[in-house]
Amino acid sequence: MRIRLVSLSIFLLLCGLTLTQTAAAQSYYVALGDSLAVGYEPISGPPYTQGYADDLFALYSPQIPGLALTKLGCVGENTFTMVHGGAPLCPNYPAGSSQLDAAVAFLQAHQGHVALVTLDIGANDVDGCVSTTGIDKSCIESGFSTVGANLPWILRELRQAAGPHTPIVAMNYYDPFLAAWELGSAGQSIALKSLAAATDFNVLLGAIYHAFAVPVADVAQAFRTYNFLPVPGENVPVNVFIILSWTYMAAPAPIGPDIHPNAAGYVAIAGAFAAKVKLP
């Protein structure tokens, strides 16, 4: 009987060690930002399950036992609302709070167990300034100023909460308004002006991220944003063809035109992130 009790005690002790090790192995991938971080598509409702965060999770979960995906992103989020709250469609954090507050709290609570943080933010600061019919320059300048004021604060808070060794990777943006190219000469003029604004915006984002040593997934390059070579048989350049193929800009009403990627577009964004992610 004594031997059986000792054996049982050892068994329970080993089980306890196993459970402790399993709990310690839990790690998290935290996706922050706007509707792209959520994986929004206009053809479906929440929960969205085929965004770039979902693709990255599928890529890394076999490599990181116990990895869990935590999405804190919000449809319609911009840099101001990320800091101060107020975006209307944010079920991933408490009302009266902000995404940044929720992210900081989560990172602090799980410090040492966060394998990766990804961030895309800023597009909603300027997207309302551009359409397939025109560009509001003063609106763009205001959006650039808002991003320049808020994004450094966001990055400073995230780094402090996550600790010095947690990978944080951000992204630049494709230009959905290249789709205006198909509207004739006037549309092509708008597309070129939109591309110039998108280029300036990505330069701004890159400079801020560089200042905080945050790698930038080159989504603009993944979408071949600057490739004006013609696509044989399509009568449009490569960059326009990809925007029409990888987003809902060519979708008929009521689904489109919509700036968000489809599943193929999200895979391309995930690939751009994967090229910059360096896990510990």
Distance CA 68, CA 74 (A): 19
pLDDT in tens, the chain (280 residues): 443 333 333 333 433 433 333 444 699 999 999 999 999 999 988 989 999 999 999 999 999 999 999 999 999 999 999 999 988 878 877 778 899 999 999 999 999 999 999 999 999 999 889 887 789 999 999 999 999 999 999 999 999 999 999 999 999 999 999 999 999 999 999 999 999 999 999 999 999 999 999 999 999 999 999 999 999 999 999 999 999 999 999 999 999 999 999 999 999 999 999 999 998 7
For residues 151 and 34, give the distance between their C-alpha atoms in angstroms, rounded to a whole number.
13
H or E element, residue 28: strand 27-33
Chain position carrying tokens 């509207």: 183
Report the SS3 class of residue 132. coil
Query: Tokens in use for 144?
Result: 């650039």
Determine the pLDDT at residue 279. 86
Which helix (H) or strand (E) covers residue 82, if one does?
A: helix 79-84
Task: Put residue 235 in one of left, alpha, beta given phi > 0 → left and psi -120 to 50 → alpha.
Answer: left
70: enclosing H helix or E strand: strand 67-71
Question: How many other CB atoms are found less than 10 A from the CB of residue 212?
Answer: 15
The yes/no answer on whether domain 27-274 falls in CATH 3.30.470.20 is: no
Q: Looking at this protein, which amino acid is placed at residue 168?
A: I
Q: Are 172 and 220 in contact (CB under 8 A)?
A: yes
Within 98-251, residue ranges assigned H as helices are 99-109, 123-126, 137-162, 185-211, 219-222, 238-246
For 218: left if phi > 0, alpha if psi spans -120 to 50, otherwise beta; the answer is beta
Paired strand residues for 230: 237
pLDDT at 22: 41
Report how far apart, in Å, the C-alpha atoms of 159 and of each of 103, 165, 167, 207, 228 are: 11, 9, 9, 17, 38
Residue 23's pLDDT is 44
pTM summary value: 0.90
Number of C-beta neighbours around residue 265 at 10 A = 25
Would you give the distance in Å from CA 25 to the centre of its chain? 25
Question: Can you give the residue ranges of every domain in the chain?
Answer: 27-274
pLDDT of residue 95: 79
Helix (H) or strand (E) holding 35: helix 35-38
